[in-house]
Amino acid sequence: MDNDVIFQPLQFRNLTVKNRLFRSNISGRFDNYDGSGTQTRINWEESFARGGVGAIISSFVPVHLRGRIMPNYAMIDSDDKVPFWRALGDAVHRHDCKYILQLSHSGRQRDNPGVENFRQKGLSSTSRMDTFHGLLCEAMTLQQIKETIQYFADGARRAREAGLDGVELHASHGYLITQFLSSAINDRTDQYGGNLQNRAAFLLEIIRAIRKEVGADYHLQAKLNAVDFSNALYPWEKKGNTLAEGIQVAKWAEEAGVDAIHVSIGSIFPHPLLPPGGFPPDELNWWYGTMISSGVLGYFNYTMFHFRLLRPIFTFFWARTKKDHPIEAVSSQYCREVKKNVSVPVINTGGYQDGSVIRRVISEGYTDAVSIARPLVANRDLPQILQSGKDLPDKPCSFCNRCLVNAVANPLGCYDVRRFDGDHDRMVAKIMEVFHPSQFSTAAPGSQLM
């Protein structure tokens, strides 16, 4: 399949990627509590590079401790983290794969604040509690906004020093930058609130600060919501940004200096539409308690998940929005509209696995590339399978979202036991391989340093 659109290189202003398959961001608690990285993280990332994706977009990498979603995530908040990221980049590069680091700040959306942030409110555009998990927050002062912009710029400089191929701004899924962008969340009355231009100011100042720090020739992309769908869960929530607003933000981001837009949807995480698919109440009952015990006030949700009789109420609200959207290529229609309005390449996330669907969205102009998270967790060799001419692996990802729900407490991996013929031990053994480089990975450089 020499002319397969999936395997044509993609040229950005400052970066060339060998094919159109990007590993999408997928967080897991693989690192040390203090935010230093581990060999396990390197094993994890290298396994996707070996599987054949053209580029990996990292998991959520906090630019500051206060913006961490949970402990055990490698951070980029200080210069002493650079050697770890260099070792990780070297391991990925050995497989002709690029590595783009996602610069992130949780704002109020912290699933597990950890001891350092315990009983400390998250920073946000607002002081209003988030209505999904019950996360407390306080509106940032102008001084805190200024400092946080510089944290992002410093993170980008460190990624460049580490020899990584680019950075992505996490400006989607309800994290800090979305909390400024979204009309459903931002209730400020100063220059960072009110009309769309003011709400976008935080994002655009970060982009300019990064350009000032890393120059014009370093790859910078933004993961943006094309549409917020904030009212998706409970009817009393505000609607959030429309598609027209999402497109306008993408245009401004391009003007300010981004080289690509990674198009997503949904102003909370998880959202009924993203990651699309199931939301298993049994696993929620087992693992949501981890958040409660770490200080998150999610008692309402936990009660819903815990008592079987209440589960249908939650499921009703959760499923309301989903009915109009397929799982596969869930946000492609919105991505196409963004693509029509920007000249930089776009990457689309959400429900990509089937080769025929990926070929169609690229060749029909919906997107230039796709990013894939869960189907690659299930089958690292998906790129090789597609290249061999098959459209699906023998045991495809079922989009059940058990990996997602487990990730707050357990090692990241595929938790759909049906894919292991019902054999729980075999499933766990597969998940635990990431801790054993001899089974999972070739030796990675610098491991003794971590």
Binding site for ligand FMN (CB under 6 A): 24-27, 59-60, 102, 170, 173, 223, 264, 274-275, 349-352, 372-375, 403-404, 407
Q: Let me know: does 73 contact 62? Beta carbons within 8 Å.
A: yes
Q: Provide, rounded to whole angstroms, the least separation between the CB of residue 167 and ligand SF4.
A: 26
Binder to ligand SF4 among 415, 427, 434, 441 (CB under 6 A)?
Answer: 415
Q: Provide, rounded to whole angstroms, the least separation between the CB of residue 175 and ligand SF4.
A: 21
Q: Which of the listed partners (ligand FMN, ligand SF4, none) does 378 bind, with a CB threshold of 5 to 8 Å by partner kind? A: ligand SF4
**Residue 268 or 404 having the CB closest to ligand FMN:** 404
**Residue 102 or 221 having the CB closest to ligand FMN:** 102
Tokens of 238: 């505000």
Q: Provide, rounded to whole angstroms, the least separation between the CB of residue 341 and ligand FMN.
A: 21
403 binds ligand SF4, rule: CB under 6 A: yes
400 binds ligand SF4, rule: CB under 6 A: yes
Q: Amino acid identity of 206?
A: I
Q: Provide, rounded to whole angstroms, the least separation between the CB of residue 331 and ligand FMN.
A: 9
Q: Which of the listed partners (ligand SF4, ligand FMN, none) does 350 bind, with a CB threshold of 5 to 8 Å by partner kind? A: ligand FMN
Q: Provide, rounded to whole angstroms, the least separation between the CB of residue 423 and ligand FMN.
A: 22
Q: Which of the listed partners (ligand SF4, ligand FMN, none) does 82 bind, with a CB threshold of 5 to 8 Å by partner kind? A: none
Q: Which of the listed partners (ligand FMN, ligand SF4, none) does 25 bind, with a CB threshold of 5 to 8 Å by partner kind? A: ligand FMN
Q: Provide, rounded to whole angstroms, the least separation between the CB of residue 2 and ligand FMN.
A: 26
Q: Provide, rounded to whole angstroms, the least separation between the CB of residue 418 and ligand SF4.
A: 8
Contact pattern from residue 351 through residue 390 relative to ligand SF4, giving x for each residue in contact according to CB under 6 A and a dash for the rest: -----------------------x--xx------------
Which of the stretches 11-19, 107-115, 241-249, 393-401 binds ligand SF4 when contact is defined by CB under 6 A?
393-401
Main-chain phi, psi angles of 333, to 5 degrees: -65, -35
Q: Which of the listed partners (ligand FMN, ligand SF4, none) does 398 bind, with a CB threshold of 5 to 8 Å by partner kind? A: ligand SF4
**Residue 110 or 374 having the CB closest to ligand SF4:** 374
Q: Provide, rounded to whole angstroms, the least separation between the CB of residue 257 and ligand SF4.
A: 35
CA atoms within 13 A on the CB side of 378: 28
Q: Which of the listed partners (ligand FMN, ligand SF4, none) does 351 bind, with a CB threshold of 5 to 8 Å by partner kind? A: ligand FMN
Which of the stretches 128-136, 185-193, 355-363, 413-421 binds ligand SF4 when contact is defined by CB under 6 A?
413-421
Q: Which of the listed partners (ligand SF4, ligand FMN, none) does 402 bind, with a CB threshold of 5 to 8 Å by partner kind? A: ligand SF4
Q: Let me know: does 88 contact 165? Beta carbons within 8 Å.
A: no
Q: Provide, rounded to whole angstroms, the least separation between the CB of residue 34 and ligand FMN.
A: 19
What does the CA dihedral 209, 213, 214, 219 come to, rounded to 10 degrees?
-20
Distances (CA, A) of 297 to 118, 187, 270, 289, 408: 12, 22, 17, 10, 15
**Residue 57 or 201 having the CB closest to ligand FMN:** 57
Residues 6+ apart with CB under 8 A from 13: 219, 259, 344
* Total number of residues that touch ligand SF4 (CB under 6 A): 14
**Residue 127 or 285 having the CB closest to ligand FMN:** 285
- For the chain, what is the HEC assignment? CCCCHHHCCEECCCCEECCCEEECCCCCCCCCCCCCCCHHHHHHHHHHHHHCCCEEEEEEEECCHHHCCCCCCCCCCCHHHHHHHHHHHHHHHCCCCEEEEEEECCCCCCCCCHHHHCCCCEEECCCCCCCCCCCCEEECCHHHHHHHHHHHHHHHHHHHHCCCCEEEEEECCCCHHHHHHCCCCCCCCCCCCCCHHHHHHHHHHHHHHHHHHHCCCCEEEEEEECCCCHHHCCCCCCCCCCHHHHHHHHHHHHHHCCCEEEEECCCCCCECCECCCCCCHHHHHHHCHHHHHCCCCCHHHHHHHHCCCCHHHHHHHHHHHHHHCCCCCCCHHHHHHHHHHCCCCEEEECCCCCHHHHHHHHHCCCCCEEEECHHHHHCCCHHHHHHCCCCCCCCCCCCCCHHHHHCCCCCCCCCCHHHHCCCHHHHHHHHHHHHCHHHHCCCCCCHHHC
30 binds ligand SF4, rule: CB under 6 A: no
Q: Provide, rounded to whole angstroms, the least separation between the CB of residue 345 and ligand FMN.
A: 17
**Residue 156 or 434 having the CB closest to ligand SF4:** 434
**Residue 37 or 413 having the CB closest to ligand SF4:** 413
Find tokens 């988030």 and name the residue: 130
* Residues at the contact surface with ligand SF4, assessed by CB under 6 A: 374, 377-378, 397-403, 414-416, 419
